[in-house]
Amino acid sequence: MTTSSALQSPDQLFGELFRDVQLGHVFADSKTFVDCVPKLAPATILARYETEKIKADFDLSDFVHDTFWVPEKVAGNYVSDTSVSTTEHVNLLWEHLSRPADPPSAEGSSRVPLPYPYVVPGGRFREIFYWDSYFTILGLEGAGRVDLIRGMVDNFAYLIDTIGFIPNGNRTYFLSRSQPPYFALMVKLLADIDGPETLVRYKPQLQREYDFWMQGSQTLTQEQPIIKRVVRVPGCSVVNRYWDTCPTPRPEAYRQEVELAGDSEPLGIVPAELFTHIRAACESGWDFSSRWFIDQHMMAKIHTTEIVPVDLNCLVYSLETTLEEANQQTGSDTDKFAGQIDARKQAIETLFWNDITGFFHDYDAIRHEPTPALTLAGVFPLFFKLATPEQAARVHDRLNADFLQAGGWVTTLMNTGQQWDWPNGWAPLQWMVYRALMNYGFTETANEGRKRWLSLNDKVFHATGKMMEKYNVVDAALTTGGGEYPNQDGFGWTNGVYLAMME
C-alpha cells in the first residue's frame, strides 16, 4: 500500500487536535471533521493550536471553523419535485450526485483525488464508495450514462494501480481496508456494453485485485490457518474473510468507538481486537449487523474476523471466473484458475450450506461450525448460479416464508437496533435476491419482491421527496431505525437499483 505522508489519515496528521475535536463533540457526526479541508498547512494549524488552546477564552469550535472548511451534505439544498415520477426524479439527481475529475487535494485533506468523473451516494457520503458503485452503475446503464460508467471503472482501476487495491472509498482514512469485491462485476457489465476486449483491458487490475484478496494464501499452514484475508478450513480449499490492518478506532467514528471500548473493558474485551473486528465489519459493507456478533444482541461481542462470509466467497469466485474469461480472450493461462474455481465452487456448495435450515450460512473458522445468523447473504450462491436446484428451492421457500415483507426483503431476522438487521431493507440486497430468484426460475416470487420494493420507494419519494439509503420494509413505514448516523438521502445505490428494476 502507498505510504506517502500525503495519504496519512486525519488522526495521524492532527494527533491531539483530532482527539480533542472528536471527543469534544464539536460536530454531531464524527465523519464531519475527517472530511473537513484545512485552510492552512497541518503543521501550521497544530502550532497555532498549541499556542491558542491554553488561552482563557479559547473556544475549540471557533478554532476549527477558523482553520478548516466544513463540508455540507451532498445535495443538501436540493428541492425535489414530488409531482414527477420516481424515475424522472432519479434521472434528475444524477447531475447532483456526479462529480468531475478531482483537482489535487489541499494539503491535509482526507480526499484521495480521482482522475475521472464519478458518482457519490449522497447525504454525508461525499466520496466514492466501492460496493455502492456497482449498484449505482446498474442505474447509470439504464439511464444511458455509459460515460459515467467508464469513468467509475477507470477510477477503480486507477486506485488498484496506485494504492494496490480498491479501498472502502477515496479517503485517506479508508486506506486500511477494502469493501466487497464487485470490480469484476463492474468490468463484466462494461464488457457487455463495449465488447469482450474490455476484459483484456482490465485484466492487470483484476489480477491485482485478486492478489490483494489472496495475499498470504501460499503461507497458510495447519498451525497458522488464517492470514490477512485468507483462511484454510480443514478439508476445504482456501477461502476468504474480511479484515483491516489497523487495530485502532475508525477516525470517522472515533468517539463512538472509544466509548464502546470503554464500556467493553469490564467484559474483558481487548480494545485492539474490538477495533479490528469493527473495521472488518466495515469492509463487509454490513456495518453493523448481528451477523457479526457472537451474542447477536451485543455489539461488544463482535467477531467479524473469525467469520468466513458466504457472500464474500461468491464474489471472489466471480473474480476468479472473470480472470479466467480474460485469460481465454488472450489465449494465455487458460487453465490457471480452473482448480481454484472448482475448489471454491465446492466449498460454497458444502461449507456454507446448512441442511437443517435449508439456507446458506456464514462459517465460523474458530468454532468450525456455521454461524446461526439467517441473512440475505445466503442468496449470493443463487445470484452466481452456484447452488444446486434443490438448494435453490429450499432457499426460495425460506425467503418466501420469513424474509419477504410488506416493502421487500428484510436483511436479517434479528431485531437488534443495528441498521443491517430487521426491520430494514437495502437496495443492493433487493437486487441480489431478485436476480438470484430469477436465475432459478422463481419468477413469481422475484417479481413480488420487486413490486413491493419499488412501491415502497415510490411511497417514500412522494411523501418526502427523497430516495433513502435504507427502508423499513416490515411495515413499509417512512422511516428506518438503527445505525450510527441518521438515514441518508440521495441515494446512489437506491437510485441505481430502482432504475434497474424498472427496466
Spatial distance between the Cα atoms of 408 and 199, rounded to a whole number of angstroms: 34
**Helices assigned H by DSSP within 366-406:** 380-383, 389-398
Q: Measured in Å, how far apart are the chain's first and last C-alpha atoms?
A: 40
- In the structure, how many helices (H) and strands (E) does the chain have? 19, 16
> CB–CB of 360/403 below 8 Å?
no
Closest CA to 259 of 23, 69, 447: 23
DSSP secondary structure letter of residue 219: G
DSSP string computed for 236-262? S-EEE----S--S--GGGHHHHHHHHH
188 three-class SS = helix
Active site residues: 287, 469
Spatial distance between the Cα atoms of 214 and 255, rounded to a whole number of angstroms: 33
> CB–CB of 97/73 below 8 Å?
no
- 429: cell is 440486497
Whole-number Cα distances in Å, 410 to 422, 428, 468, 478? 6, 12, 15, 15
Q: Which letter, b or e, does each residue of 237-272 get, where b requires 16 or more Cβ atoms within 10 Å of its Cβ?
A: bbbbbbbbebbbbbbbbbbbbbebbeebeeeebebe
C-alpha dihedral over 34, 303, 182, 342, to 10 degrees?
A: 160
Whole-number Cα distances in Å, 388 to 125, 261, 362, 391? 39, 43, 18, 5
Q: Collect all residues with Cβ–Cβ distance below 8 Å to 20 and sequence separation of at least 6.
A: 53, 60
Spatial distance between the Cα atoms of 316 and 284, rounded to a whole number of angstroms: 13
- 76: cell is 443538501
183-194 and 310-330 helices, crossing angle to 10°? 40
DSSP string computed for 88-133? HHHHHHHHHHEE-PPPPPPTT--B---SS-EE--BBTB-S-BHHHH
